[in-house]
Amino acid sequence: MPLPWEALIPFGLVTVMFGATGTLLKTSKQSQNQGKPVRYHIDTWDETMMERDRRLTGHIRGQRSDPVPPEGFETSSIWATEVAK
């Protein structure tokens, strides 16, 4: 059975377009995560740590190496508290 050469052009175009869109999507997601890979299967602990990182650095993927928190970190808790009267 002969190979239909006319079908190779659309097949090549579709393959290139899927490859290009997948690469652009991965690049976009990675640039939004400060160059780090995308996180999958995030549980409650991961969400808590990402919220803590956001309060420390301003971005959910940022981390700090110095042990001193920024000003206002102790009062920027995610837990709701009552105001003392």
84 pLDDT above the threshold of 60: no
The pLDDT, as a whole number, for residue 83 is 55
pLDDT digits (tens, 9 = 90+) for 35-77: 888 889 999 999 988 888 888 888 888 887 877 777 777 766 6
The pLDDT, as a whole number, for residue 75 is 66
Domain boundaries, given as residue ranges, for the chain: 7-38, 40-84
The pLDDT, as a whole number, for residue 16 is 97
Q: Return the number of other C-beta atoms located less than 10 Å from residue 53's C-beta.
A: 16
Closest CA to 64 of 72, 53, 73, 75: 53
Phi, psi (degrees; rounded to nearest 5) at 82? -90, 145
Phi, psi (degrees; rounded to nearest 5) at 4? -80, 100
Closest CA to 57 of 38, 66, 80, 81: 66
| pLDDT greater at residue 81 or residue 72 | 72
* Alpha carbons 7 and 24: distance in angstroms, whole number: 26
